[in-house]
Amino acid sequence: MLGIHAALQVMFSPGAEARDWLRHGRISGGERRRAPLDCITGGDLDDMMLVRRHLEAWCAGHVGAAGPAGAYEAVTEEMIDFR
């Protein structure tokens, strides 16, 4: 949880942006695309780690750039390099 919180502080300015991403962003895990908040609150530890890895990759500038009108590109596990 602390890693997710820290990454959100880096990626978003104070205010509603982080909350909006948590509710409306999309994370791909397996065949489903879910909101990050759903992964954190309704999933298991693997789902929470998927959100953290997504944010870490985004912070590093690898994937997940915001698109028009607040649309976010979903990050899949295949996009993240764990080397």
pTM of structure: 0.64
State yes or no: pLDDT of 78 exceeds 80: no
Determine the structural domain holding residue 64 and report its residue range: 2-79
Per the structure, the count of domains in the chain is 1
pLDDT tens digits, 17-70: 888 888 887 776 666 778 888 888 987 888 888 888 888 888 777 665 444 445
Pull the structure tokens for residue 42. 């309704």
Residue 36's nearest CA partner among 46, 49, 16, 21 is 21
- The CA-CA-CA angle for residues 19, 56, 6, to 5°, reads 55
State yes or no: pLDDT of 76 exceeds 70: no
Q: 81: alpha, beta or left, given left = phi > 0 and alpha = psi -120 to 50? A: beta
